[in-house]
Chains A and B, each alone.
Chain A
């Protein structure tokens, strides 16, 4: 990936609504070139989606989130991949990571109610072949996500005019 693509990604990461013309001005590059770079990033599967970071606490949406550590027995030739695939098919699962440490897969899951999330763990996740143990931690509060700090006052602390 070239330097321009990295710079474009950096701008989109900060605000994916940044207009093409602005990116072009900011990087001092022709807008056609920027458009091509973005197109390539999308086609190559580098940019998968443009999505907002939402502070759900400020909405009336009720749901429960959990971080679930999962221990599995890796399968011959497939390692952890096929188990991970089975797990990420469930709509409750938001993210799945293969991690180092005491367990193997780390799952972020959510459901409308505590009961539904509990059922997901006990009836869907735990019963998958080769899953040997799970440990569920419920999310109580979100402080920072995707580089965004929640609940911080954004007031500019600078004087309005200074030399």
Chain B
């Protein structure tokens, strides 16, 4: 078999738990998906227009490895004015192909085989595989619904060994919709200093926080800038998922090493998308981010609608505070998260993502995305409710 040609490290990488649902869902007519992980808005028109103009103007060449300098300047300005972070656009910002690439190159730049990385569990599907591809070991720390899925220093500390190198985390969180309190952040920061750990903070959802809350950046905490990598991108806040533009910001010593990997493997992010990203930040700045605010308000209304519907159908669910996901428990149904989602899909044509796809800590939960049309969402709630009532009678 051709498997003999494959690197065992890759061969043993688990298949994504999401792929399976994708294949089944495609075959089912009238399916309603709450299983999508991206905005339901199209990129705002001025941003798309700039991408077209960039192509028409013949901007079709490579850019600097780290990305167009005006884009890095806009990113630095954006992070400073919106999140109070200071980065030098010349040496501390690298534009990547989505935040996903940023995660990959930071991990590759900082980890050696055998190193250990603390990950929140449940957490984003690619963190553990990306860690494993470097030969390092992901060390999951389970977060619980009774603590609103917040990662705590106490839970982390029990998992720290002399091989622990970094903590990789993301708040607002996919899949749980939780945010991390400043108090928890400060405890984790203290721990990172005590054990000399790197913090890799994926802040891709940081514009999507509700109820007047905010999610502070790790790099902005006292004493953290030097040991922190901030990862972000345009996909969620500016509805630009398919354009694949993200970035990492880090002290020069880390950024320039990650840039080496980027330079040798990617060369540069797509120029058209970079032009669009400049427009996103410039247009955002000039309009006081009115499109970002409009999208956030729209998600917020649907967030309340979804949370209320889930609770009304008898599922226990913490109120999501950020991103665009609710993460209810299906424990009361007696089904595993995968069984629940498989049967819901086959019997009622509704797609949710089993929590187990996000790690063992996600078991007995499902991820429901509220970046979904209201009418469709309400039809999905009717179907889910019918399904849950039927389960009770079994």
Residues of A whose CB lies within 8 Å of any CB of B are 10-11, 15, 18, 22, 25-28, 156, 158-163
Contact = CB atoms under 8 A, between A and B. Distances in A.
Contacts of B36: 158-162
Interface residues of B, number: 28
B305 A159 contact: no
A153 to B, nearest CB: 12
Interface in B89-133: 124-126
B332 interface: no
B301 A161 contact: no
Contacts, number: 54
Interface string B281-325: 000000000000000010001101100100000000000000000
Contacts of B301: 11, 26-27
A163 B37 contact: yes
Contacts of A18: 374
Interface stretch (B14-22, B185-193, B256-264): B14-22
Contacts of B196: none
B173 interface: no
A26 B124 contact: no
Contacts of B304: 25-28
A161 B33 contact: yes
16 contacts: A11-B301, A22-B305, A25-B305, A26-B302, A156-B373, A159-B36, A160-B33, A160-B35, A161-B21, A161-B36, A161-B353, A162-B18, A163-B18, A163-B125, A163-B126, A163-B357
B215 to A, nearest CB: 20
Contacts of A25: 304-305, 308
Nearest to B26: A160
Interface of B: 16, 18, 21-22, 25-26, 31, 33, 35-38, 40, 124-126, 174, 297, 301-302, 304-305, 308, 351, 353, 357, 373-374
Given A160-B31, A163-B124, 4 more contacts: A15-B374, A27-B304, A160-B351, A161-B351
Nearest to A27: B301
A160 B305 CA distance: 21
A162 B302 contact: no
Nearest to B28: A160
The 7 closest A-B CB pairs, nearest first, are A26-B301, A161-B35, A161-B22, A162-B37, A160-B25, A163-B125, A25-B308
Contacts of A28: 304
Nearest to A162: B37
A158 B22 CA distance: 12
A119 B7 CA distance: 82
A145 to B, nearest CB: 18
A10 B297 CA distance: 11
Contacts of A158: 36, 38, 40
B328 to A, nearest CB: 16
A57 to B, nearest CB: 23
Contact of A163 (B16, B25, B33, B351): B16
B163 to A, nearest CB: 28
Contacts of B35: 160-162
B371 to A, nearest CB: 9
A141 to B, nearest CB: 21
